């Protein structure tokens, strides 16, 4: 009975959030998906201008680009160079894991379950090395429905329930410690590599963690300089991250104390990035290309978890965590070491027109 109450409570909170988002979009004529596309298009438009490429912005985020008698279309970084099947493969995290493993590429140990097989999932959780990551099999863009670092049954069950709201299938995956690195790869070329750092806050000796997050998000929203950082989302991952540190949203931090409030390092969860292209060891470029080719992807983001991206991969204990089609440019241009940012969008557009017939 308590299990059912817990599940229904999570469903209720989920529906509440969806209702708020629906009303916001309806009343204020905002669309979260289109707002994200606008950010990507801003990057592409600037790159196109530098290259002398003409751009027409159609409704709904579709860009028409023309250069030297050639025309192409881009929407949400989806282009004609990618096949429909490549998107289907990369969108299925469990399938990707199996394909990479078949090609002798290192991935975290994982299994797939449904809500109906949660008892088997619990048994697997007890048997597997902990902590673990729980996430939907599909639709994890921006860290949706993902919770990491789970090491007790109560948190596991809650995270499993939440992940099941976003997809019928739920992955239970080994948690691998290390730095999270995103390599942006186009065919066999590295466009940019960034280290992704989870969201953190600094105490002032007076304010609660909740108030500090609210103030941080306010500053990010009101920022006029490019690029804006995404807000720190208060969700299951945040609550679990604080709980593991014996903290809560009500905790008042001492002045100057820095606390990571997220385990997920995704920029859409409020994280920050640091450009590391110049430090990236060739092993990671080679493995990224191999991973994308195995999944029939030409342009993708390959996520590694490793101790040090500048060192050889062999013996590191690292893994390829995910691959992603239509990866974000915006996230790479957010790097805090701005002098090292790579013009990945410019290189991307040059490639598109060189290979567009």
Please state, for a pLDDT cut of 70, what percent of the chain lies above it: 91
pTM for the model: 0.89
Is the CB of residue 108 less than 8 Å from the CB of residue 172?
A: no
80-122 pLDDT, tens per residue? 889 999 999 999 999 999 999 999 999 999 999 999 999 999 9
Domain boundaries, the chain: 2-74, 83-107+177-198+263-357, 109-175, 200-262
Please, which pLDDT band fits residue 267 given cuts at 50, 70 and 90?
A: confident
Report CA Rg, the chain: 21
What are 135's two structure tokens? 């996430």
Q: Is the dihedral of CA 189, 63, 84, 140 positive or negative?
A: positive
Angstrom distances, CA of residue 48 to CA of 41, 65, 270, 272, 307:
10, 8, 28, 26, 36
What class, spelled out in words, does domain 83-107+177-198+263-357 have in CATH?
Answer: alpha beta
Q: Which of 324, 6, 14, 353 is nearest to 180 (CA)?
A: 324
Q: Considering only CA atoms, which of 190, 195, 147, 152 is closest in space to residue 171?
A: 147
* Portion of the chain with pLDDT greater than 90, in percent: 75
Q: Domain 109-175, what fold?
A: Dna Ligase; domain 1 (3.30.1490)
What is the mean pLDDT of the segment spanning 265-270?
A: 88
Structure tokens of 169?
Answer: 């299938």
Q: Which pLDDT belongs to residue 59?
A: 80
Mean model confidence pLDDT for the chain: 90
The better pLDDT of the pair 300, 356 is held by: 300
For residue 300, cis peptide bond before it (omega within 30 degrees of 0): no
Neighbours of 272 (CB within 10 A): 19
Q: Are 320 and 108 in contact (CB under 8 A)?
A: no
Helix (H, G, I), strand (E, B) or coil at 63: strand
pLDDT given at position 25: 61
DSSP 115: G
Question: In this structure, are residues 127 and 340 in contact, taking their beta carbons and an 8 Å threshold?
Answer: no
Q: What is the pLDDT of residues 47-77, one digit of tens each?
A: 999 999 999 999 888 999 999 889 999 998 8
């Amino acid at each position: 009975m308590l299990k059912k109450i817990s599940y229904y409570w999570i469903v209720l909170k989920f529906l509440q959030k969806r209702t708020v988002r629906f009303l916001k979009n309806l009343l204020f004529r905002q669309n979260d998906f289109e707002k994200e596309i606008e950010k990507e298009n801003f990057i592409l438009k600037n790159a196109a201008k530098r290259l002398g490429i003409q751009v027409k912005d159609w409704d709904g985020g579709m860009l028409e680009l023309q250069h030297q008698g050639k025309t192409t279309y881009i929407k949400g970084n989806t282009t004609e160079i990618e096949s429909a099947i490549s998107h289907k493969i990369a969108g299925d995290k469990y399938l990707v894991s199996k394909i990479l493993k078949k090609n002798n590429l290192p991935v975290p140990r994982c299994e797939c379950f449904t809500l109906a097989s949660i008892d088997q999932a619990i048994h697997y959780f007890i048997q597997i090395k902990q902590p673990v990551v729980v996430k939907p099999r599909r639709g994890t863009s921006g860290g949706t429905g993902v919770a990491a670092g789970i090491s007790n049954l109560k948190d596991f069950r809650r995270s499993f329930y939440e992940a099941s709201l976003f997809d019928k299938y739920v992955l239970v995956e080994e948690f691998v410690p290390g730095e999270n690195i995103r390599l942006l790869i186009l065919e066999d070329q590295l466009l940019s590599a960034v280290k992704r750092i989870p969201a953190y806050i600094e105490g002032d000796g007076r304010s609660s963690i909740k108030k500090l997050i609210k103030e941080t998000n306010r500053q990010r929203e009101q920022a006029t300089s490019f690029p804006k950082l995404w807000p720190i989302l208060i969700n299951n991952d945040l609550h679990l991250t604080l709980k593991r540190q014996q903290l809560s949203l009500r905790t008042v931090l001492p002045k100057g104390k820095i606390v990571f409030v997220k385990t997920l390092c995704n920029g859409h969860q409020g994280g920050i990035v640091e450009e590391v292209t110049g430090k990236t060891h060739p092993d990671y470029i080679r493995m990224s290309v191999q991973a994308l080719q195995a999944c029939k992807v030409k342009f993708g983001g390959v996520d590694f978890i490793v101790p040090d991206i500048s060192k050889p991969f062999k013996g590191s204990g690292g893994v390829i965590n995910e691959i992603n089609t239509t990866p974000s440019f915006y996230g790479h241009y957010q790097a805090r070491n701005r002098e090292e940012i790579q013009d990945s969008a410019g290189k991307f557009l040059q490639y598109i027109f060189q290979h567009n017939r």
